[in-house]
Amino acid sequence: MKLNIAVLAGDGIGPEIIEQALKVTKAVCVKFGHELQYKHAITGACAIDKVGDPYPAATHQLCMDSDAVLFGAIGDPKFDNDPTAKVRPEQGLLRMRKQLGLYANLRPVETFESLLHKSPLRQDLVKGANFMCIRELTGGIYFGEKGRSEDGNMAYDNCVYHRDEIERILKLGFEYAMKRRKKLTVVDKANVLESSRLWRQIAQEMAPQYPEVETEYMFVDNAAMRIIQWPKSFDVMVTENMFGDILTDEASVITGSLGLLPSASIGLHTSVFEPIHGSYPQAAGKNIANPIATVLSAAMMFEYAFNLTDEGALIRKAVTASLEAGVVTEDIAGDGKSYKTSEVGDWLTDYVANN
Ligand code: IPM
Ligand code: MG
């Protein structure tokens, strides 16, 4: 098969982790006889520095012309600490999501047997936890009207959702639940927010079409608590944009490290595969960042964008083997022996080539 991908490394640790995912991707393509074609494009703070735009038209065009996008991370502290900056790296990511119509962000939360002891939670609570968080990605407070009063002393961000936006993401939630353990948790704040009440109303309208799915409704504050109290109670969780952003960072740490969780953003145009973590600027250029979330995002790319499940499975096997062999970066190694980002990437690449 011919794989035509766009590579957007972005900022901070982005280039280092993307390099490892690309090495592994190339090895998989060699192994399975696929022809890999890829092109790099700029996004984020580095694109602002170069061309004054965090998601330049040429980058968007490349994404549109590709079969899949492998994305690193964006963000830079020089913007975080300047609330008055007019152009921000994150706008690049948000525009990419919007322009590619990526309305669903799939974030699987899985635990690894060999890392259970790294979880801040008790092992018996995390062992076997495995759920899919489906985060709505192109609506809500992220994209609603925002602004300031003339004197600058009042600010607002509107949370807006239309019926069709809610229906399509809930449909995906029900369909995923059907493919999994048939339980769907709709997370909202329907006791306070009107937009949440519309979500809940539509979910209740749709639920009878999926009689085999057990649908539960949960307020987001309660869900935040349940994720650490009883993560195994979740199968598929579906929620709006910002709730999903927050809950998945929380969920990631129960697996032992934020550096482990991949994601797939799917929708109308080319799908994007990216780790759920950010650009971790403190680690940039030090060759210490954990590449696994990005490598697992490449696995999701094979599976979701190309329907190549054996290829994805081999990457997953390599990752599990590396964790069992203790070939891990310092976020996981703690006081034990740690490996550099590139060493973990090399190990995974060799594993793929030889297994
Ligand atoms: C994520 C990130 C982004 C988000 C930021 C970088 C804009 O936190 O992908 O989860 O909030 O969506
Ligand atoms: Mg986030």
The domains of the chain are located at 1-102+270-355, 130-253
**130-253: CATH number:** 3.40.718.10
Q: Tell me: the pLDDT tens digits for 94-141?
A: 999 999 999 999 999 999 999 998 899 999 999 999 999 999 999 999
Ligand 1 centre to CA of 277 (Å) is 8
Measuring from atom 5 of ligand 1, which residue has the nearest CA?
90
Q: What are the tens digits of pLDDT across the range 159-200?
A: 999 999 999 999 999 999 999 999 999 999 999 999 999 999
For ligand 1, whether the C-beta of 93 sits within 6 Å is yes
From the CB of 249, is ligand 1 less than 6 Å away?
no
* Helix boundaries (H) for the chain: 14-32, 45-51, 57-65, 77-80, 89-99, 123-126, 163-179, 194-206, 220-229, 241-254, 292-300, 306, 309-324, 330-333, 341-354
Q: Do domains 1-102+270-355 and 130-253 have the same CATH topology?
A: yes
Which residue numbers are catalytic? Answer: 142, 189, 221, 245, 249
245 ligand 1 Cβ < 6 A: yes
Nearest CA to ligand 1 atom 7: 90
Per-residue tokens: 11: 């900022």
What pLDDT score was predicted for residue 320?
Answer: 97
The CA 20 to ligand 1 mean position distance, Å, reads 22
Ligand 1 near 278 CB (within 6 A): yes
pLDDT tops 90 at residue 339? yes
Q: What is the pLDDT of residues 229-242, one digit of tens each?
A: 999 999 999 999 99
Angle between helix 89-99 and helix 57-65 axes, rounded to 10 deg: 40
- pLDDT at site 338: 97
d(CA 25, CA 27): 5
Architecture in CATH of 1-102+270-355: 3-Layer(aba) Sandwich (3.40)
Q: How far apart are CA 94 and CA 92, in angstroms?
A: 5
Helix (H, G, I), strand (E, B) or coil at 179: helix
CA distances from 104 to 137, 144, 264, 272 (A): 5, 17, 8, 10
Determine contact, residues 324/307, Cβ cutoff 8 Å: no
Which residue from 42, 135, 57 is spatially nearest to 89, judged by alpha carbons? 42
pLDDT of 348 reads 98
Higher pLDDT, 59 or 84: 59
pLDDT of residue 323: 96
> What is the whole-number distance in angstroms between the Cα of residue 143 and the centre of ligand 1?
13
Q: What is the pLDDT of residue 256?
A: 84
**pTM for this predicted structure:** 0.96
2 CA to centre of ligand 1 in angstroms: 31
The residue whose C-alpha atom lies closest to atom 9 belonging to ligand 1 is 276
Tell me how far the alpha carbon of residue 73 lies from the centroid of ligand 1, in angstroms: 9
How many Cα atoms are found within 13 Å in the side-chain-facing hemisphere of 108? Answer: 17
By most ligand atoms within 8 Å of CB, the mutation choice from 90, 98, 146 for ligand 1 is 90
Q: What local confidence, expressed as pLDDT, does residue 98 receive?
A: 97
The residue whose C-alpha atom lies closest to atom 6 belonging to ligand 1 is 90
| pLDDT tens column, 19-70 | 999 999 999 999 999 999 999 999 999 999 999 999 999 999 999 999 999 9
- Ligand 1 atom showing the smallest separation from residue 242 Cα: 11
Nearest CA-CA partner of 247 in 42, 344, 105, 150: 105
pLDDT tens digits, residue range 245-301?
999 999 988 988 889 999 999 999 999 999 999 999 999 999 999 999 999 999 999
Q: What are phi and psi of 159, to 5 degrees?
A: -105, 110
